[in-house]
Structure 1
Amino acid sequence: MDARAIIAKVRRKQTPDADEIKWFASGLASGAVSDAQAGAFAMAVCLNGLGEAGRVALTQGMRDSGDVLSWDLDGPVVDKHSSGGVGDCTSLILAPALAACGVFVPMISGRGLGHTGGTLDKLESIPGYDTNITDAQLKQITRKVGCCIIGATGSIAPADKRLYGVRDVTATVESIDLITASILSKKLAAGLEALVLDVKVGSGAFMKTPDDARALAKSLVGTANGAGCATAAFITDMDQPLAPTLGNALEVGTCMEVLAGNRLAAPRLHDLTVALGGRLLALVGHDEGEAEEMISDAISSGRAMEHFAAMTAALGGPPDMADDWHTHLPKAPVIGEVPAPESGHINAINGEALGLAVVDMGGGRRVETDRIDPAVGLSEVVMLGTKVTRGDPLAVIHAVDEDSAEAAARAVLAAITIGDAPDLPDLIRERID
């Protein structure tokens, strides 16, 4: 086959056949496709699209460009993916809760991107937690514990790694077809039977409008189902942080509170975790209402905490994480409140601005080589609709020094609007099946 002919088809708004697209994906991994050809392909797809059949073929081709895990377990193998938001740490609660319900979760996660936090960065705030393990170790821990959250190994979807690097420098990152294939090729390489997707929409999400979020959710669900993995999605609200904390160690602390049975530590985080878990269990045969009760009980009973602690220990973290997590998580040296400048209701929250404030404090990366300070961030962030009096705290800053704290305080004040009581959006805005 010829890469030039395949690119020309996409340029002419024709969809190459499945074998051609899979050959191109294989060529990305092997080097048979050049950087120039990869860039031309990405731009042609960005401008003209591939259609559903083309998305499925590209996803399968990139999935099959490396190792695809197979399992022999006494329960379904499932996973969840979020499109990214602020204060979104559902994976840390959902994976062990699912494991407590008898399914297996080999969760291959990523790092922070832009203003959003990354699951791996959060977990690496736990001393000793190792996200870089082999496929054999992933299988062993998943079998023993029921869940294992790590980063992608070099053998998982190498075609995606190559194409993503090209997209990043050719202004083609935002293509829904390429986003879909990138996300799903890595997830499906884990050998999943079912997948639930959490597509965020709002000020703290990458997708700012309902139409954009719906387009991405439908593309992901249709492509994953077309590739043979039972998949459903929720479109969920990100017009405010999902949890009241932003920052790696702070978000882990919030998850530990919820896993310890304290739903009120982060009610929106808890409730979305229950809904996602219930939908995922329904995909593998459970009644959805009963499945939500199963997830909720796994959290409130402490069984999810047991699985989280076992996973942490298996990956090199402290063996007593369930009982003594407060002492293990790093703490920032400067802590202070941001007082409300006036009285009223919390009318709007710019989630992206809050996320970038944490990045500027050292809690995220501006460039790939930046080192993250896991201790910095925001806690006790007010929720939409909250009535405040002048001087009440809008958030608590955790910073490395006074200058950083003052800059973060200015950013928080600029990101939070006080005014009339707003109409509160539903946490789950739409289901895509």
Structure 2
Amino acid sequence: MNPVEIIIRKRNRTALTEEEIKFFVNGYLSGEIPDYQMSAFLMSVYFNGMSDEETVALTRTMLFSGEVLDLSHIDGLKVDKHSTGGVGDKTSLVIAPIAAAAGVIVPMISGRALGHTGGTLDKLESIPGFRTDLSKDEFIKTLEKIGVCLIGQTKEIAPADKKIYALRDVTGTVESIPLICASIMSKKLAEGINGLVLDVKTGSGAFMKTLKDSEILAVNLKNISEAFGVKTIAYITNMNQPLGNYVGNWLEVYESVEILKNKVHNELTELCHLLAGTMIYLGGKASSLDEGYSISKQMIESGRAYQKFLEIVEAQNGDVTFIENTEKYAEPKFKFVVKSNRNGFVSRMNTFEIGMLGIELGAGRMKYTDAIDPKAGFIFYKKIGDEVKIGDVIAEIRTDKDQQNYFTQKLLKAIDITDTKPDDEPLVYKTI
């Protein structure tokens, strides 16, 4: 086969065969096909899209470019969750221990923060000693022992995705539905799962800003997952404001622990019960979604989910004393209070801008090599729909950088306060 001919066929909107896709991807992974040809191929896909058959073929090729975990020797159904990411999205830290406490096996391979979105691995690594770089054997042993483990992508899993994603990142080809779907699903399917919950975000802090685009992505992800025999339920959820009240790596661990201790009940808690309940249902531990939701609440109320989280931290070398006594954690050098400069209602939060400001505080990264300050972030005391008066504290900024005026003014610009109360927005727009 000739790589140039395959590029031309895709450029001319001709559907490719599975053999052609396999040849191209495997050739790129081996080094026979150079970056410039893969870049041309990716741009052709970006502009012309792929059929469902092509997307499944691309996913299958990327999936089998590495190892697919065999967890069949572990009793029970294996279920994971994937979120398309946002600001303050810490659900994995809560739902993994809930589902595992209910008896579901949870093999969770997670990502890092990049751009305005946070990453589960960085949040977990803010716990002193916590290891997310477990080998495949350590991952399986932890699953055998406690039924849940959260790690990063290992070198054995979907190496083609790792190489192609790095190229997409620098060639303007990230926002392509077929490429997004193949990237996500090649990693998720490699976990050897039976069920998958998809949390597709929509709104100002989401990858997909509109409900229409989010729905297209959710349907495509679900179709691919089910083409591989994985039972899948997708939710389209609200990312027009940060999820929960805490944003930043350690701050999000803190809020997750408070939920697991049954001390916090907000929209984040609600979403966690929905997602965990769905995992419990797909894991065969509930006969309906409603029963799954109810079991999820029981896991929190009984303390079993919190105990499971302590087990996770201990099994992955983290210092559990920081979870048992969160006050022990180091404080940032500065805590800047942000006050309202007018009366009214919080009507809009530019979640993307809040996420980008988080990077400037030290809470995120613009490239994978950037260091992260786990203490940096925000605490929000007012959210969309809340009434504020002049001088009311809207938020607190935590950072080691002495730039109070710059940070507070930038955060105030990302929050609109108007005379009229905005209409309530749903937490969940749609179930697919």
Under a length normalisation based on structure 2, what TM-score does the superposition of the two structures give? 0.96
CA positional deviation for 1:7: 2.5
Which whole-Å deviations, capped at 9, do the CAs of 1:106-127 have from their partners, x for residues lacking one? 1111111211111111111100
Q: Output the amino acid matched with 1:308.
A: F
Which whole-Å deviations, capped at 9, do the CAs of 1:17-39 have from their partners, x for residues lacking one? 22332333333332233222211
Counting matched residue pairs gives 428
CA positional deviation for 1:183: 0.7
User: CA contact under 8 A between 1:306 and 1:322: conserved in structure 2?
Assistant: no
The separation in 1 between residues aligned to 2:297 and 2:27, in whole angstroms, is: 45
Q: 1:140 to 1:415 in 2, by over 3 A?
A: same
Long gaps (5+) in structure 1:
none
**Do residues 409 (structure 1) and 408 (structure 2) align?**
yes
Which whole-Å deviations, capped at 9, do the CAs of 1:359-386 have from their partners, x for residues lacking one? 1111111333221111011013411110
User: CA contact under 8 A between 1:305 and 1:322: conserved in structure 2?
Assistant: no
Q: Output the amino acid matched with 1:364.
A: G
**Do residues 214 (structure 1) and 183 (structure 2) align?**
no
**Do residues 118 (structure 1) and 119 (structure 2) align?**
yes
The match for 1:36 is 36
The match for 2:143 is 142
The DSSP-based 3-state class of the residue aligned with 1:263 is coil
User: CA contact under 8 A between 1:245 and 1:381: conserved in structure 2?
Assistant: no
The separation in 2 between residues aligned to 1:269 and 1:48, in whole angstroms, is: 38
User: CA contact under 8 A between 2:361 and 2:401: conserved in structure 1?
Assistant: no
Which whole-Å deviations, capped at 9, do the CAs of 1:380-425 have from their partners, x for residues lacking one? 341111011111111011121432x332211211011111100111
The separation in 2 between residues aligned to 1:33 and 1:366, in whole angstroms, is: 28
The separation in 2 between residues aligned to 1:83 and 1:385, in whole angstroms, is: 25
**Do residues 7 (structure 1) and 7 (structure 2) align?**
yes
Q: Output the amino acid matched with 1:31.
A: G
The separation in 2 between residues aligned to 1:319 and 1:349, in whole angstroms, is: 35
The match for 2:66 is 66
User: CA contact under 8 A between 1:87 and 1:245: conserved in structure 2?
Assistant: yes
CA positional deviation for 1:216: 0.9
The match for 1:85 is 86
The separation in 1 between residues aligned to 2:6 and 2:232, in whole angstroms, is: 29
RMSD in angstroms over aligned alpha carbons?
1.4
Which whole-Å deviations, capped at 9, do the CAs of 1:169-193 have from their partners, x for residues lacking one? 2211111100110011111111111
After superposition, where does 1:181-330 map in structure 2 within 5 Å? Answer: 181-264=182-265, 267-285=266-284, 286-327=287-328, 329-330=329-330
The match for 1:375 is 375
The separation in 2 between residues aligned to 1:372 and 1:3, in whole angstroms, is: 40
Which whole-Å deviations, capped at 9, do the CAs of 1:206-247 have from their partners, x for residues lacking one? 111111111111111111111221112100001111111111
The separation in 2 between residues aligned to 1:253 and 1:330, in whole angstroms, is: 13
User: CA contact under 8 A between 1:236 and 1:430: conserved in structure 2?
Assistant: yes
Q: Output the amino acid matched with 1:147.
A: V
The DSSP-based 3-state class of the residue aligned with 1:363 is coil
Which whole-Å deviations, capped at 9, do the CAs of 1:60-112 have from their partners, x for residues lacking one? 11011011100111111111011111111000001111101111111111111
User: CA contact under 8 A between 1:138 and 1:148: conserved in structure 2?
Assistant: yes
The separation in 2 between residues aligned to 1:392 and 1:246, in whole angstroms, is: 20
After superposition, where does 1:351-430 map in structure 2 within 5 Å? Answer: 351-403=351-403, 405-419=404-418, 420-430=420-430
The separation in 2 between residues aligned to 1:150 and 1:242, in whole angstroms, is: 22
The separation in 2 between residues aligned to 1:323 and 1:344, in whole angstroms, is: 39
Q: Percent identity?
A: 43
The separation in 2 between residues aligned to 1:43 and 1:227, in whole angstroms, is: 27
More deviation in 5-14 or 96-105?
5-14
The match for 2:153 is 152
CA positional deviation for 1:198: 0.6
Which whole-Å deviations, capped at 9, do the CAs of 1:8-59 have from their partners, x for residues lacking one? 3322212222233233333333223322221121111111111111111111
**Do residues 165 (structure 1) and 157 (structure 2) align?**
no
The DSSP-based 3-state class of the residue aligned with 1:253 is helix
The match for 1:49 is 49
Long gaps (5+) in structure 2:
none
Q: Output the amino acid matched with 2:37.
A: Q
The match for 2:26 is 26
Q: Output the amino acid matched with 1:252.
A: V
Q: Output the amino acid matched with 2:147.
A: G
CA positional deviation for 1:167: 1.3
Q: Output the amino acid matched with 1:18.
A: E
Q: Output the amino acid matched with 1:98.
A: A
The DSSP-based 3-state class of the residue aligned with 1:430 is strand
The separation in 2 between residues aligned to 1:406 and 1:352, in whole angstroms, is: 20
Q: Output the amino acid matched with 2:272.
A: T
The separation in 1 between residues aligned to 2:16 and 2:203, in whole angstroms, is: 35
User: CA contact under 8 A between 1:120 and 1:151: conserved in structure 2?
Assistant: yes
Q: Output the amino acid matched with 1:159.
A: A
Q: 1:307 to 1:23 in 2, by over 3 A?
A: farther
CA positional deviation for 1:141: 0.7
User: CA contact under 8 A between 1:346 and 1:388: conserved in structure 2?
Assistant: yes
The separation in 1 between residues aligned to 2:333 and 2:246, in whole angstroms, is: 17
The DSSP-based 3-state class of the residue aligned with 1:382 is coil
CA positional deviation for 1:322: 4.4
CA positional deviation for 1:299: 1.7
